[in-house]
Amino acid sequence: MSDHDTHSGIAALSICEALLLALNDAQVLPESEIMGILKDAATSHENAEGTEADLEMHVAVATLINSIIAGGNSVRRP
């Protein structure tokens, strides 16, 4: 993966996390819905099919999403 792709991915992740925080802060989506979105995304990658390289990428993405869930990065917790 090129540096441009890596930087684009990090930027996209940061923007999505900020959007989830804003949706929660504005009480548009409750924490449970945000966690559901993240869990659905992780599950999609955990169940993905493809080449060995594709599967390696999907496992890495699911692991990252699950670490976001565990760390509470996308919701403000007291």
CA angle 44, 7, 1 (to 5 degrees): 70
Tokens of 46: 């955990």
pTM exceeds 0.85 for this model? no
Confidence of residue 73 (pLDDT cuts 50, 70, 90): low
pLDDT of the residue at 53: 95
Q: Which residues contact 78 (CB under 8 A, 6 or more apart)?
A: none
User: Is pLDDT above 80 for 72?
Assistant: no
The answer on pLDDT for 76 being more than 80 is no
* Contact assessment for residue 68 and residue 38, using Cβ atoms and an 8 Å cutoff: yes
pLDDT digits (tens, 9 = 90+) for 34-57: 999 999 999 999 999 999 999 999
